[in-house]
Amino acid sequence: MNTQVLGISVDSVPCLKAWAESLGGITYPLLSDFYPHGRVAQMFGVLRAEGYSERAIFIVDKQGVIQYVDVHKIDEQPNNEEIFRVLEKLEPHATAAPTRAPEPAAPEPTADVVLYCTSWCPTCRRAREFLKQHGIAYVEIDIGKDRAAAARVRQWANGNETTPTFNIKGTIIVDFDQDRLKQVLGLK
Amino acid sequence: MSLKVGERAPDFELPSHLGTQVRLSDYRGRRNVVIAFFPLAWTPV
């Protein structure tokens, strides 16, 4: 869709950068409304007395006119479906175009121990240390990059992308369950 | 009170975490823009 997403918060640029990295990278720009503090949030009428903004979505069309406003409870996530409906109305032909091509089905690697993880998850880091410490050779798959692998993890983990998840010669272990790992790997 | 549907979005220019300056009016005539305000990084607030 011919749409640009912009995130905005009152955080500083280095803070947003570190946060985006901790989330494994965010591809759309996160904008820093840090100085003068909250000025843009104020212009849009969503700066709270506490000094940070509401959780709010504005859709601005190509003419620069606001087409949708949603200010929601601060602990709730926005309603993505509603946002897509508004965007489809603005750009009807965009929806007629074929959507994303299906993910190529990457085959499951044939290694004895496959670790499904992400680059940022702290438990994955501990799992790598655990495997190294016990001298276990393993193959690692970053499910943030390999979406076909992410789909396999969702099948095993009740629809969640739980990391780490292990495939040990066909035995699946969801999460870093050390006792179960030792049992399946035949460790003391 | 927040701005309303039908109002003109005020233009702004802010630095991004990708190291670029982003100006809303740069998308005028080219792209629809979804602006997502969020309270604070690192927190579920």
List the domain boundaries for chain A: 7-96, 113-185
Concatenate the DSSP letters of all residues of A84-105 into one string.
HHHHHHH-HHHHHS--PPPPP-
Average pLDDT, integer, range A118-132? 88
Q: What is the pLDDT of residues A46-98, one digit of tens each?
A: 999 999 999 999 999 999 999 999 998 766 766 777 888 888 888 776 544 44
A61 or A100: which leads in pLDDT: A61
pLDDT at residue A101 in the model: 45
Tell me the C-alpha distance between A157 and A146, whole Å.
17
Average pLDDT, integer, range A25-37? 93
Give exposure, B6-36, as e/b (b: 16+ Cβ within 10 Å): eeebeebebbbbbeeebebeebbeebbbbbb
* Nearest-by-Cβ selection for A55 from B33, B39, B41: B39
Average pLDDT, integer, range A33-57? 95
Query: Cβ separation of B16 and A19 shorter than 8 Å?
Result: no
Query: Cβ separation of B37 and A5 shorter than 8 Å?
Result: no
Q: What is the pTM of this model?
A: 0.59
**What confidence category does residue A100 fall into, taking pLDDT thresholds of 50, 70 and 90?**
very low
Q: Give CATH for domain A7-96.
A: 3.40.30.10
Report how far apart, in Å, the C-alpha atoms of A59 and of each of A8, A78, A82, A124, B16 are.
Answer: 13, 13, 11, 37, 19
pLDDT at residue A52 in the model: 94
Element (H, E) at B21: strand B21-23
Right CATH number for A113-185 from 1.10.645.10, 3.40.50.300, 3.40.30.10, 1.10.1520.10? 3.40.30.10
Tell me the C-alpha distance between A38 and A104, whole Å.
43
The answer to whether the A7-96 and A113-185 domains have the same CATH topology is yes
Domain boundaries, chain B: 1-38
Q: What is the pLDDT of residues A136-154, one digit of tens each?
A: 989 999 888 888 888 888 8
Range scoring the smallest mean pLDDT among A106-110, A117-121, B10-14: A106-110
Mean pLDDT of chain B: 92
For chain A, what percent of residues have pLDDT higher than 70?
87
Taking contacts as CB-CB distances below 8 angstroms, the residues of chain B near A33 are: 14
The answer to whether the CB of A34 falls within 8 A of the CB of A76 is no
Taking contacts as CB-CB distances below 8 angstroms, the residues of chain A near B35 are: 6, 8, 44, 57-60
Query: Cβ separation of B9 and A64 shorter than 8 Å?
Result: yes
Q: Which residue of A has its CA nearest to B24?
A: A64
Size of interface A-B (CB pairs under 8 A): 168
pLDDT at residue A94 in the model: 53
A45 touches chain B (CB under 8 A): yes
Q: Name the burial class of residue A156, with classes exposed (0-12), middle (13-18) and buried (19+) by CB atoms within 10 angstroms of its CB.
A: middle
pLDDT for A168 beyond 70: yes
A99 or B6: which leads in pLDDT: B6
